[in-house]
Structure 1
Amino acid sequence: MPDLREATNHLAPLSLPAQISLYFPGRDGRLGWQDSPELPVIRAERRRLRDWLSTNIPIQWGKRVRKVEHDDEGVAVVFEDGSRAEGDILVGADGIKSVVREYLLQRSSDELLKLVPLAAIVGEVDLSGEAFKRQLQLGHSAYVFVSPDIGFWNFGGLHHAYPDGRSGRHYWMFMESDAHVADADHWLQTATQDEKLDYVLKKVAKMPPKFREVFEATPASGIKKEPHIWRDLELENVPAGRVILMGDAAHAMTPFRGEGGHHTFIDAMQLSQVLGKVNERDIESIKAAVAEYNAEMLERGVEAVRNSRTEQAARKSEERKSNSQSPATLPKPLPEVEIVLG
């Protein structure tokens, strides 16, 4: 495998450490997390991470599951293109609208997924020079601005730096509470890019100038057209057998704490450990191992889903330690550092 940090780092070619900042009303300075020997942090760019994970794996893209068959002897998947795959174990890591989960639980995604009452508008913009540097100073990788008095909060982040080391693609997520966001007649269902941007610019007018800048620099063409409806998933139990769930298929969560991918990696490592001990022809051995995996995965996943659910999640990170957090992972004061671009 290529070196993970070098292969996936979204800040490359910059030499800055990965850093996520939190800004709260009434607090001078900022809290957050920064890559260090004591607490290594890798902020991976999605495409680069997928490429790294694909190393030496012959992936067949474009497959869509039509049917799953399994019994004590094995499991098979039938795809929409008519092809078929057979094996000992099927791992359903097929996302929030998992077809494998629907088959395994005999319940639709619409029935299982819970609406998160939050309206979101997303924008992307390329920045360079001093504007690029100012965003990096707010948070090398990302930052959260929470201000309940103005009725919304913002997540801003660097998608990736460009090879010149003086520019990069940034994105932002404007979010506010809205219990009706999924209604068919909600204004965001049909709003144009210009209408969304105008709405955001009016809302952010009360923000300090340094936090407004990324919104004001974004053209209407940089506003995502599709509505963003957040949903999450809590599962109480999952049958133990040859069909297994992991990642968003098992515990889809909102991105407010940035833990979705993290828990998927834990799922994969835990599952690898328990399956490494079983005889693939012994169904009772498989059931016992998968039951062990399911119990730990569901307890951990449900806690993460609940902690990630509300728009208060970022603020609660300041004051609450979940069962899965150690003191080392709690946010700490981050000093201001002058950034020099090459």
Structure 2
Amino acid sequence: MKQKIPTVIITGAGLGGLSFYHALIKNKDKKEFNVKIFERESGPQDRWQGYHIGINNFGARSLINCLPSSVASNLPKGMPNPIPDIECHGFSLTDHTGSLLLKPPSKQFEDVYGVANSTSFSAIITYRDRLRDVLLEDVPVQWGKKCIGYEETEEGVWVFFEDGSKEFCDILVGADGINSPVRKQKVPELQIFYFGITQINADVAVPKSLIDRLIEINGNCLFQKTLGLNGDVTFVIYRLIPIEQEQENKNEPHYRASLAFSYPTKLDDNEKIEVDDNNPGSVIDHVKYMIRKLRPECDLTNVMLELWSLVPRTVPDPKKHPFKTYNPVQRRQMQDINPLSVNAWKSSRVTLLGDAAHAMSPVLGLGANNAIQDADVLSQALVNYSPENYLSCIKEYENEMLKRTSADVLKSRNSTLRQSSPVGYFGTIFRNNIMRAVNFVMNTFDYDFFSRK
């Protein structure tokens, strides 16, 4: 008798959920599944899909493992090949005046395949929204289907949706983000950790002249972070690929850049700052006020103020806006989830993937990479699936995922808390000297203390 093809349901069509979908389809010659993917959004452009991200060698390797060649061939749409001798796909950390503190060694490669095959830390700057578009191509996502819970039986899992419908499956994978209803039911004791740090993010179109000034101060790395005296941090990540512009701005090339500014939340509380988070202009004014208050008058401060002045204060005309979707700037509290903060996970037909299990601080750029690695590891574990051993397959994945991601959550958390701790003038001297010493060792011996070994 022909064995029934098992059904896998994925809730969440982000990078992790889509990578997992493709991996199961790619491996159907080894193990065939009926795969269904559901997303709470009403359509692919319903919600803004994120900033630039760095796909590192671990994430790139897993992404290529997950994708069939027909999808992988389109990856340059989301992660264009580095421009030789112009772009440096690396990371630099400076103080509040632009003086270099850290620039870990990073190998430069021709494309994502070179990054994937690297044995040392490397990364490629990627447009998150365009990468998602690539992963969505020809995927039968069922839109407008928000999962609100599930019920396990001996035979499988009933998955319930907000519209009143339900679906039955053999395996349920919650890839539905930090507020995942699947996680809240499966591991209700798993709590969100709040950093006490406020962060504001934005995507902007930056003229070449301003990018040139930034490079002159901070160097040519595409990831650039600066540390202030009061726990304030600025972050800029960009590509030197000209974007399409409206007619009146074609006098010089413009580049897409992602900005972030963070600071200890208590600074707002101490001054009783009032900001209208529903008014982008109010948030932008607040960011610029904080930069002026916390940073000294210098070229770097002026460039940061000019960058934030480029952020749209009102919803732009979509015909003229250079990005497909627009996200009004908002203040957000930084948070994470350590999946090993509970004593034990009970493996079952229901498991978690990506931010649903281990949302982490964006400081080290490990969130998307871990979600894609989850997809790779889980798909490989399910190659051995049978109705009799499904628990061992899920447990194999969860054991690896919990160990790997908890280490990265805590590494990102510790790095975030250190960088966001006020140090004052004399503390800055000590901190900067320590970082410069670490930088000397890393570059002298070609060793990166911060990469995963």
Aligned equivalent of 1:307? 411
CA spacing shift, 1:5–1:73, aligned 2, 3 Å = same
After superposition, give the CA deviation of every residue in 1:114-134 in whole Å (9 maximum; x if it has no partner): 111112233443222322333
Asked whether the equivalents of residues 18 and 41 of structure 1 are also in contact (C-alpha less than 8 Å), the reply is: no
CA spacing shift, 1:116–1:181, aligned 2, 3 Å = farther
The range that moved more, 93-102 or 61-70, is 61-70
Three-state SS of the structure 1 residue aligned to 2:225 is: strand
CA spacing shift, 1:194–1:218, aligned 2, 3 Å = closer
Give 1:144 deviation, angstroms. Answer: 0.8
After superposition, give the CA deviation of every residue in 1:205-228 in whole Å (9 maximum; x if it has no partner): 416414531322433853654221
For 2:397, give the aligned amino acid: Y
In 1: Cα distance, 2:301 partner to 2:108 partner: 23
Is there any run of 5+ residues in structure 2 with no aligned partner, and where? Answer: 1-70, 246-251, 314-327, 421-430, 440-445
CA spacing shift, 1:259–1:24, aligned 2, 3 Å = same
Give 1:113 deviation, angstroms. Answer: 0.6
The range that moved more, 54-63 or 9-18, is 9-18
Aligned equivalent of 1:69? 151
Asked whether the equivalents of residues 5 and 42 of structure 1 are also in contact (C-alpha less than 8 Å), the reply is: no
Aligned equivalent of 2:76? 6
In 2: Cα distance, 1:120 partner to 1:65 partner: 28
After superposition, give the CA deviation of every residue in 1:116-161 in whole Å (9 maximum; x if it has no partner): 11122334432223223334564453211123x3542211122774
CA spacing shift, 1:153–1:29, aligned 2, 3 Å = closer
In 2: Cα distance, 1:271 partner to 1:181 partner: 42
The range that moved more, 214-223 or 302-311, is 214-223
In 2: Cα distance, 1:268 partner to 1:201 partner: 39
> Is 1:158 matched up with 2:238?
yes
The range that moved more, 24-33 or 167-176, is 24-33
Three-state SS of the structure 2 residue aligned to 1:44 is: strand
In 2: Cα distance, 1:277 partner to 1:181 partner: 53
Give 1:182 deviation, angstroms. Answer: 9.5
Aligned equivalent of 1:31? 103
In 2: Cα distance, 1:260 partner to 1:62 partner: 25
2:201 aligned residue (117, 122, 135): 122
Asked whether the equivalents of residues 118 and 181 of structure 1 are also in contact (C-alpha less than 8 Å), the reply is: no
Q: Tell me the TM-score normalized by structure 2.
A: 0.61
Asked whether the equivalents of residues 347 and 394 of structure 2 are also in contact (C-alpha less than 8 Å), the reply is: yes
After superposition, give the CA deviation of every residue in 1:59-95 in whole Å (9 maximum; x if it has no partner): 1222111231222311121211122222211110100
The range that moved more, 231-240 or 171-180, is 171-180
CA spacing shift, 1:312–1:19, aligned 2, 3 Å = farther
In 1: Cα distance, 2:297 partner to 2:235 partner: 13
Is there any run of 5+ residues in structure 1 with no aligned partner, and where? Answer: 321-326, 333-342
2:257 aligned residue (170, 173, 195): 170
In 2: Cα distance, 1:14 partner to 1:45 partner: 18
Count residues with an aligned counterpart.
318
Give 1:169 deviation, angstroms. Answer: 2.6
Aligned equivalent of 1:243? 350
For 1:175, give the aligned amino acid: S
2:391 aligned residue (287, 303, 321): 287
Aligned equivalent of 1:274? 381
CA spacing shift, 1:161–1:29, aligned 2, 3 Å = farther
